[in-house]
């Protein structure tokens, strides 16, 4: 019998999780991973902290190199190889060797698309100037790091106030730059409600970030090929460095050209087993959709948490198993300097758009009892169904020890618990960790 062959496109979180899972199940399969970059299994999430200077070397962001995959797991990782076409009829992919500029066909029995997502790059004048960066792959993080080392920028403007923008604001402040952040929305972190977003904006301003909210990027001006200023619909800001944090778009063009169905935001449509619309072709991670358990619809959420799980489940099912990914509730966490931020479920705008009647409570409490050293402020907002009290969403902004509490809410929302269930949940308590009424339960109490 000939060996079965798995081909994976993309060598990071989703792709390598799947390849490793298949290898654990089938010692005899041939597994080939094509990765167009130089690196595999890197922590893109760690890049802001590497750029900030908190991580000694970019090597520390790499969990496993191509050599280790080859030697320890017999996974044939081919870096600097880009898949340029999928031919589902003949079950083969066209691969470009980027070093040799040559092309060849590679056949597959099973194919996993794990191509990730790319940062949005607006088509405005000056966008191709030196000094304008989006973050996605490890190489993109290295490019920013090297640019800062070589050009010593003094002023930076971040376009977009989502979590990448916020984390990069912290990183560039740490590199002693004058940091401005521009967003066309009237708040930062539009996945939060405006009242919670305001707490973040106030903290950012107090900590030296100049915020320009409700302002739209128009174009960039350049001097000798380098970005020299950013022009908005209201002003011109001089700058030496631009970071684009304007969201991501799934890398789904290979799939679309192969006739594979796309869904939310053009992400690859998959079922709960990670199967695409074509037989023997699977997809996982940032290039693919997820099902939102509260909104009850397909969404595109580009997060490492989801990519790793989808990759594992794809690997299990490709191996002949039967595992399902039920979906996501939109849980995310970040921080800027000492301010922690997290959210889960749906926010007010999303609930209004879906026509779901809701009630909210917002409380200010403390992360520990007032008498205990190091106690910090925590702001909690809960969103529940107007009748029945089912938990629909939650947001937390506070200092050290605040934001990770969101995981309790994510669990409660996934389990379809009500605000009463949350109130009487047997959570842990001792003064070094929490007040006797956990802030989440104080917010729940306010809704009864």
Check residue 170 for interaction with ligand FAD (CB under 6 A).
no
Distance CA 226, CA 261 (A): 40
Residue 9 binds ligand FAD (CB under 6 A): yes
> Residue 260, interface with ligand FAD (CB under 6 A)?
no
Residue 360 C-beta: closest distance to ligand FAD, Å: 26
The answer to whether 266 and 7 have CB atoms below 8 angstroms apart is no
Beta carbon nearer to ligand FAD, 66 or 398? 66
* Interaction of residue 48 with ligand FAD, rule CB under 6 A: yes
Q: DSSP readout, 364-388?
A: EEESS-TTSTT--EEEEEEEEETTT
Alpha carbons 382 and 361: distance in angstroms, whole number: 5
Question: Is 11 a residue that touches ligand FAD (CB under 6 A)?
Answer: yes
User: Which listed residue (26, 30, 45, 408) is catalytic?
Assistant: 45
CB of 385 to ligand FAD, least distance (A): 27
Strand order in the sheet with 241-244: 132-134, 241-244, 155-159, 178-183, 209-213
Which of 183, 286, 340, 348: binder of ligand FAD (CB under 6 A)?
A: 286
287 is catalytic: no
Q: Which of 421, 427, 413 has the alpha carbon at shortest distance from 448?
A: 421
- Structural contact between residues 382 and 419, judged by C-beta atoms closer than 8 angstroms: yes
The residues with which 47 forms a beta bridge, in sequence order, are none
Q: How far is residue 75's CA from residue 422's CA, in Å, rounded to a whole number? A: 45
- For residue 36, state whether it binds ligand FAD (rule: CB under 6 A): yes
- Cβ within 8 Å of residue 399, ≥6 positions away: 338, 339, 340, 367, 376, 377, 378
Shortest Å, Cβ 86 to ligand FAD = 9
Q: Determine the Cα–Cα distance for residues 159 and 406; give it in Å rounded to an integer.
A: 27
Listed ranges 113-121, 226-234, 342-350, 387-395: which one lies at the site for ligand FAD (CB under 6 A): 113-121
Is residue 366 close enough to count as binding ligand FAD by CB under 6 A? no
Q: Decide: is 52 part of the binding site for ligand FAD (CB under 6 A).
A: no
Q: How far is the CB of 249 from ligand FAD (least distance, A)?
A: 12
Among 285, 330, 401, 435, binds ligand FAD (CB under 6 A): 285
Backbone phi, then psi, for 255, in 5-degree steps? -65, -45
Q: How far is the CB of 143 from ligand FAD (least distance, A)?
A: 12
Residue 232 CB, shortest distance to ligand FAD, in Å, is 23
Q: How far is the CB of 78 from ligand FAD (least distance, A)?
A: 9
DSSP codes, 117-185: EEE-----TTTTSBTEEE--SHHHHHHHHHHHHHH--SEEEEE--SHHHHHHHHHHHHTT-EEEEEESS
How many residues at the interface with ligand FAD, by CB under 6 A?
34
- Is residue 254 involved in binding ligand FAD (CB under 6 A)? yes
In the complex with ligand FAD, the residue whose CB is nearer, 153 or 245, is 245
Q: Is the four-CA dihedral 171, 176, 177, 178 of positive or negative sign?
A: positive
Query: Candidates 5-13, 97-105, 358-366, 390-398 — which segment interacts with ligand FAD by CB under 6 A?
Result: 5-13
Residue from 7, 77, 135, 258 in contact with ligand FAD (CB under 6 A):
135
Instruction: Choose between 40 and 375: whose C-beta lies nearer to ligand FAD.
Output: 40
H/E element, 310 = helix 304-318
Q: Which residues contact 353 (CB under 8 A, 6 or more apart)?
A: none
Q: What is the footprint of ligand FAD within residues 303-332 (CB under 6 A)?
A: 303-305, 307
Question: Would you tell me which residues interact with ligand FAD (CB under 6 A)?
Answer: 9-15, 34-37, 44-45, 47-48, 82-83, 114-117, 135-137, 164, 251, 254, 285-286, 302-305, 307
Residues annotated catalytic, as ranges: 45
């Amino acid at each position: 019998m000939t060996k079965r062959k798995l081909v994976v496109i993309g060598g990071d979180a989703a792709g390598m999780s799947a390849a490793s899972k298949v290898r654990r199940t089938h010692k005899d399969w041939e597994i080939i991973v094509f990765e167009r970059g130089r690196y595999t299994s890197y922590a893109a999430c760690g890049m802001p902290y590497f750029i900030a200077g908190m991580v000694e070397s970019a090597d520390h962001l790499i969990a496993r190199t191509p050599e280790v995959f080859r030697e320890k797991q017999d996974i044939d990782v081919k870096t600097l190889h880009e898949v340029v076409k999928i031919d589902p009829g003949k079950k083969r992919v066209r691969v470009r060797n980027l070093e040799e500029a040559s092309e060849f066909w590679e056949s597959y029995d099973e194919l996993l698309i794990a191509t990730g997502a790319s940062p949005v790059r607006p088509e405005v004048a000056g966008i191709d100037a030196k000094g304008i960066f989006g973050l996605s792959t490890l190489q993109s993080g290295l490019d920013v790091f090297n640019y800062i080392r070589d050009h010593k920028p003094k002023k930076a403007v971040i376009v977009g106030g989502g979590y990448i923008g916020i984390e990069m604001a912290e990183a560039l402040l740490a590199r002693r730059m004058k940091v401005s952040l521009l967003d066309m929305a009237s708040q930062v972190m539009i996945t939060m409600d405006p009242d919670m977003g305001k707490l973040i904006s106030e903290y950012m301003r107090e900590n030296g970030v100049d915020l320009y909210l409700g302002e739209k990027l128009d174009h960039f001006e350049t001097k000798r090929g380098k970005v020299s200023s950013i022009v908005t619909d209201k002003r011109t800001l001089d700058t030496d460095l631009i970071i684009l944090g304007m969201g991501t778009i799934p890398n789904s063009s290979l799939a679309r050209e192969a006739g594979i169905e796309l869904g939310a935001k053009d992400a690859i449509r998959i079922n709960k087993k990670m199967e695409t619309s074509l037989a023997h072709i699977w997809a996982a991670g940032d290039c693919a959709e997820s099902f939102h358990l509260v909104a009850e619809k397909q969404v595109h959420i580009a997060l490492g948490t989801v990519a790793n799980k989808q990759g594992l489940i794809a690997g299990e099912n490709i191996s002949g198993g039967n595992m399902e990914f039920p979906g996501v509730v939109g849980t995310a966490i970040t921080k800027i300097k000492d301010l922690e931020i997290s959210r889960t479920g749906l926010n007010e705008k999303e609930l209004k758009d879906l026509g779901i009647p809701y009630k909210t409570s917002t409380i200010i409490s403390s992360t520990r009892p007032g008498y205990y050293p190091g106690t910090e402020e925590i702001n909690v907002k809960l969103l529940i169904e107007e009748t029945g009290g089912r938990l629909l969403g939650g947001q937390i902004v506070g200092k050290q020890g605040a934001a990770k509490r969101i995981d309790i809410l994510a669990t409660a929302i996934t389990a379809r618990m009500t605000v009463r269930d949350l109130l009487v949940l047997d959570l842990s308590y001792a003064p070094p960790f929490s007040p006797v009424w956990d802030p989440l339960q104080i917010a729940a109490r306010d809704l009864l």
